Amino acid sequence: MNHRFILLAFLCIQIVFGQSFGKNKVQYRDFDWKFIKSPHFDVYYYANEFELAEFTANAAEEAYEQISIHLRWTLKKPVSVIVYNSHNDFQQTNVVDTYMSEGIGGVTELFKNRVVLPFDGSYKEFRHVIHHELVHAVINDMIYGGNIQGIISGRIRLNIPLWINEGLAEYLSSNWDTKADMIIRDMAIHDEIPQVKRLESYMAYKGGQSVWRFISEKYGREKVGEIFTKMKKYQNAEKGYEKALGFDFEELSKQWKKYLKKEYWPDVAGRDELEDISKQLTDHKEKGNFYNISPALSPDGSKIAILSDREGYADIYLIDALNGKVIRRLVKGNRSIDFEELKWLQPGISWAPDSKKIVIASKAGKGDVFHLIDVASGKSEKISLELDGLFTASWSPDGKQLAFIGNKGRASDIYLYDFSTKKLVNLTDDIFSDSEPVWSPDGKKIAFISDRDDYLRVGADNTTGERLEVDMFTHDFSQDDIYVIDVKTKEIIRVTNTDYNENYPVWMHKRNALFFTADYNGVWNIFYRDLDSGTQIPVSNVLTGIQQLSLSNDDQLLVFSGYSKGGWDIYSLTNPGGLSKKEIPLTNYTQNKDQDESLADLRWNKDKQMKSSRGLNDYSQYIFARQYDQYNNTILNQREEKKSAFHDSLRQEDTYLPQLYKTHFTLDMIGGSMMISNVFGAQGMTFFSWSDLMGDHKIFFGTEMVLTLENSDYYLSYAYLKNRTDLYFNFSQTANFFSLGYQRFGRLRHIGIGSFLSRPFNRFNRIDVGLSYHLFRYEIFIDEFLTGEYALDSEKKLSTVLPMVSWVYDNSVFGYTGPLDGFRQNISITATPGIGTGKIKFQTVIWDIRKYIRFWKYYAFAGRLMIGKSMGHDPQKFFLGGAHNWYFGRGETDGKDDSGQFREVILDDENNNLLKDIYFTEYAMPVRGARYAERMGTNVALANFEFRFPFIFAFGPPSHVAATYLFGHAFFDIGAAWDDLDEFGNLGKPNDKYGGSVSTPKISGFGIGFKLFTPLGLLRVDTAWDIKPSGSYSRPQYLFSFGPDW
């Protein structure tokens, strides 16, 4: 018998539910989906938020006009746009498997080309995200045919770099703005402009946006569509640029760099660096992080609470207000159920009047909560409210109330929460987007930011009871201004009325005045406004930008977050009340802004008023080449045909007709997979997958059909993911022929059917329960030479019912190659009740715990302990040794070269326990330097230790880690497998796999390795030494495997 194949079968087709980890995506609520149809989009919504769906459909159609003109493409079929009322609901989506973290504002997937969006209270940001994601949807339709099948089949080989894809989405959705200008200006003046190929992470968005701006300004916007057309034709991104522009990425980088220097270097004159006008309290360069933001100065002026990612997470630190020294870390974000995620996008930290507590918002389970945190003890009190989202709290001067931004459906309002009565009051109670509330020193008024323009009434009319109805689609919400509301009377006063944006107001305590930030003349600076006289002046003139102000109670210290040298830091400025007026020159962008926007954005006129007409703009008269005349006429004709074909029944009285969503399965993909067997050579499987639009139902079918059903492999599974408890059902068969020698063949066949449920308690905890039935057959056939047929010679059969249960905890945080921080634990119990032909009875408990400690960026220590024990009449065996997905490489054992990657075991044709040994064995690995099944027993203990680091950094750092994808690790593995504890003390007791004596049940190894991303996955190359019982070690062994870090 070919034992090599049997051991391969152990690794590939273990039927016992394996150890699994991973965080949970929890469905906390049911979604009663409905949808409306527009000419090019199906918009799905729930909870009677029809108006939000209507806004989405109108904004999508408007954005599509601009996108299709630029890309020279019309959608071949409607795009589904799925809208969630909050980011918390968005995180429950099954449309994509990826968890939608706080920083993800929307996603477009490729299986069905669906767009998924959350509404977080800001119509301006929501409209931008709609436009951004629809750029991806149109590109998907144009390049990939609106699904992933072309990529899987290999017919489409084009891989669009992130900076091209995301950069264009940003450019078409917002053209250019002062925040993008700030990021790129900083990069240009500090001469840190990378090659376009190195535009990654956040710079893939803003840097890519700048590259497209450069191309459009120098070569014309018609080049956008031409570039994508050429990329599609030649199936190569760089080739597309070469054919459209006449040069490659290297030359593009040179020209872009020259453009940026000409654009931004003149801005240096007459402006101040942040450190020249203030004291820098944090240093993101030194700590290797990006964010130090949302400073909140304590009322006594001694401490500042900040939000920082210096440890790789969103954590809250307390720093000294004078020197920036860290006093303590108050909150660890992203690692516990109470602090699942802190609010990066709308942070906001506020102090109690006595300087003893702070208040912050975070995601905790099914919704957002406020935490009142004692800064001395770190103890937290949680406040839960029935709102879709909670943001930017402000503690009242008397300490009795919180003012904060709360989202409910399509409204974002200022709410008041009373600590003593627990009552909640909606202060603004309208459709407009409000943000950044801050109390006046006397506690009678609140200053805030809003897009309400001149709409100053809130709630229902006192006389008629009618509520203000505003069509947000036609309302100009592009402008953010400062308003003040009287807490008692709810009377609103508009403080600013400018053509630029204001943000982050703070009250002075000694004067009736405000400090705030504004992007006047193109740069975000500090402004002072006297509320009595109405005088408003800029008091800073910085080169990059300032945000998020906080002022001490004596008005003598102002702290803020500022952007410089590629990141955010905290700065302090003394005696801000004594600052004089500054002259802020126009930036190059601001000088040309009106002309630039009028040519780029179909949504706005030069005076920034919303267009009343939704017709197609003729771009050819502005900036496009002559051939666009014909193209625009073609688009117009297609639009008219589309509109005439659009059913009247789907519209009612100039609005959309809601329809109920019904589950409907469509094919996601057809694919194939291959593997190389040492016995059978190349093998493959064809698979099909289907799902419904919402991803609540998923079906997978795979088959390796040969001559007959009994000799084929097939697998069928169904997942029901709509509710909190996920349900899985599967049926499978595996069958393999292999040679046993002259005219004898064996067949291993396994038929299984099972069900499995997973119940998450929260994002980090869950319980998994499964029950399955299995039938195993081992048959030996003789080749009848005369007849040419196979005759059954002998057969062994085994069947059993297999229940299992496991508890999983996982709050780990991943780097590029695997976990870098956090904790994982899995305790599983498997017990067979003795039902079936073999009457197998065993009870197995496995405890697998893993701890990761990141001490700087991509550097981490990882430790793991696995303990397993199997009991009963037919206990399972643990095979100790080897590495996961080990494909190539051999070593030595006891000074002799190994003949293979695993050690032979007591499995042969005469083994009465053959099926049990094959299908009921648990593998314990890795022990690098040892072979598979180097030791075996009914008990196992395994410990692994690794130091993980960027490999190239240790031997000469590149400009950016992601450009190399080369990481290293040093490791030490030690374990033991035994049946009886006497084996550790009696040298004659332990037996090897041949029945001979071995000196100890322990094995260990150590070494170093590196990991490299390849088209086939993450390749691991390890150099390992196994430690001999004498204490010496072997020659180096070189192991090649695939897969992420454990």
Q: Summarize pLDDT for 55-96 with one digit per residue, the tens.
A: 999 999 999 999 999 999 999 999 999 999 999 999 999 999
Q: Which residues contact 682 (CB under 8 A, 6 or more apart)?
A: 674, 675, 676
How many helices, marked H, and strands, marked E, lie in the chain?
18, 54
Confidence category of residue 988, pLDDT binned at 50, 70, 90: low
Global pTM value: 0.89
Average pLDDT over residues 358-380: 95
pLDDT of residue 892 exceeding 80, the answer is no
* Residue in 388, 386, 383 with CA at minimum distance from that of residue 372: 383
CATH no. of 811-1046:
2.40.160.50
What is the band of 654 on the pLDDT scale with cuts at 50, 70, 90? Answer: low
Q: How much is the pLDDT for 602?
A: 38
pLDDT at 991 > cutoff 60:
no
The residues, any chain, with a CB within 8 Å of residue 909's CB and separated by 6 or more, are: 1, 740, 780
- The pair of structure tokens assigned to 822 is 């956090």
The pLDDT value recorded for residue 1000 is: 83
Q: Are strands 877-880 and 921-924 parallel, antiparallel or unpaired?
A: parallel
- CA proximity to 49, closest of 86, 94, 102, 96: 86
Give the per-residue pLDDT at 908. Answer: 55
Q: Where does the pLDDT of residue 993 fall: very low under 50, low under 70, confident under 90, or very high at 90 and above?
A: very low
- The structural domains of the chain, with segments of one domain joined by +, span 33-156+631-661, 159-269, 289-513, 672-803, 811-1046
Tens digit of pLDDT for each residue in 483-529? Answer: 999 999 999 999 999 999 999 999 999 999 999 999 999 999 999 99
Amino acid 618: pLDDT? 35
pLDDT of 288 above 70: yes
3-state secondary structure of 743: coil
Q: Give the fold, CATH level 3, of 33-156+631-661.
A: Glutaredoxin (3.40.30)
Q: Tell me the mean pLDDT in the region 168-192.
A: 96
Sorting pLDDT into bands at 50, 70 and 90, what band is 1? very low
What whole-number distance in Å separates Cα of residue 375 and Cα of residue 320? 13
What percent of the chain clears pLDDT 90, i.e. is strictly above it? 67
User: Distance between CA atoms of 903 and 894, rounded to whole angstroms?
Assistant: 13
Query: Is the pLDDT assigned to residue 614 strictly greater than 70?
Result: no
Mean pLDDT (the chain, rounded): 87
DSSP class of residue 577 equals: G
Interstrand relation of 79-84 and 115-118 (parallel, antiparallel or unpaired): parallel
User: What pLDDT does residue 607 have?
Assistant: 36
- Average pLDDT for 590-599: 66
User: For residues 130 and 954, which has the higher predicted lDDT (pLDDT)?
Assistant: 130
Confidence of residue 671 (pLDDT cuts 50, 70, 90): confident
Encoding tokens for residue 358? 């702070």
pLDDT recorded at residue 675: 55
Is the pLDDT assigned to residue 995 strictly greater than 50?
Answer: no
User: Residue 940: its pLDDT value, please?
Assistant: 98
pLDDT of 676 strictly over 60: no
Residues 131-153 have pLDDT tens digits of 999 999 999 999 999 888 888 77
Query: What was the pLDDT predicted at 895?
Result: 67
pLDDT range class, residue 735, cuts 50, 70, 90: confident
Query: What amino acid occupies position 478?
Result: S
Amino acid at 805: V
What CATH number matches the domain at 289-513, 1.10.3720.10, 1.10.10.10, 1.20.120.530, 2.120.10.30? 2.120.10.30
CA 838 to chain centre: 47
